Chains A and B, each alone.
Chain A
Amino acid sequence: MKVRDIVAALEGILLTGEDMLDVDIEAACGADLMSDVMAFVKENVVLLTGLVNPQSIRTADLMDIRVVVFVRGKMPPKDMIAEAQRNGMAVIATKYSMFLACGRLYEAGIRGGGTREIR
């Protein structure tokens, strides 16, 4: 599914990354704790998070995650958008909660996301 379809499914606003609109994304990860992202993510994912601070952008960059969605109507400050832009990332803001945003992407066709054994 293309980044432009993600923006549409989330009725989101693309804050940076126009050149990313035709990039294909097959999996998603929803998390507010960054070490959970680092424990889970293997493939090329879109990261959905309610964590609006520079660490979300930095963690994503480190994991080679190119698309970040801020849920719950949160608007990242300008300097965060600028950092994402420098990293060549797409940033999307959506009014939907984490649950609804993930549900909408699942419904729209994103199925990957990774599992771990229960320990």
Chain B
Amino acid sequence: MKLCYDVPGADLSLAGKASAEVKRALGRLGVDPGAIKRTAVAMYEAEMNMVIHGGGGVATAELSPDRVVITMADRGPGIPDLELAMREGYSTAPAWIREMGFGAGMGLPNMERNADELHIDSTPGKGTTVTIVVNLGGVAQK
């Protein structure tokens, strides 16, 4: 199964919809709830980053019997120093984003904690692609 979503940039009122839909779809398919939650949290963080920092992009979710692979690709400014960005508390989010409930600098660390594999491919000036893999641990889905 493969799902694909356009994620509009700079529109916080719609942000998070793709993750919510993937969560619902995985639930309907009977995927293990723990794996669903890890997928949903990691994807939601990536989706918010895509909207807030990356100017929007395309989200895809691919479910196979043994894992879920989420790919979030934007054409934003990229991440110049990935090691720094991965640190808990590091954020370049402006004050107005913080007022919207984001900018704790916890998104990338949360993705790392929840994903079994996290790949970040970022080119300054070109964009960022985040790939999140969650293993289903052999739990059969319907």
What is the interface of chain A, defined by CB distance below 8 A to chain B? 32-36, 38-39, 49, 51, 53-56, 58-59, 61-64, 119
B residues contacting the other copy or chain, number (CB 8 A): 26
Partner of A58, one of B20, B103, B107: B20
Q: How far is the CA of A32 from the CA of B104 in the complex (A)?
A: 10
With A51-B101, A55-B101, A55-B102 in contact, is A62–B41 under 8 Å at CB? yes
A36 partner residues in chain B, CB cutoff 8 A: 104, 106
Partner of A55, one of B12, B37, B109, B110: B12
Q: Say what secondary structure dominates the interface of chain A.
A: helix
With A36-B106, A39-B109 in contact, is A62–B15 under 8 Å at CB? no
* Interface 1/0 per residue, B6-28 and A, CB below 8 Å: 00000011011001100100000
Q: Is the CB of B98 within 8 A of A55?
A: no
Chain B CB count within 10 A is highest, among A38, A51, A59, for A38
B15 partner residues in chain A, CB cutoff 8 A: 55
Q: Is the CB of A55 within 8 A of B41?
A: no
**B105 (CB) vs chain A CBs: closest residue:** A35
* Shortest Cβ distance from residue B12 to the other chain A in the assembled complex, whole angstroms: 7
Chain B CB count within 10 A is highest, among A35, A54, A61, for A35
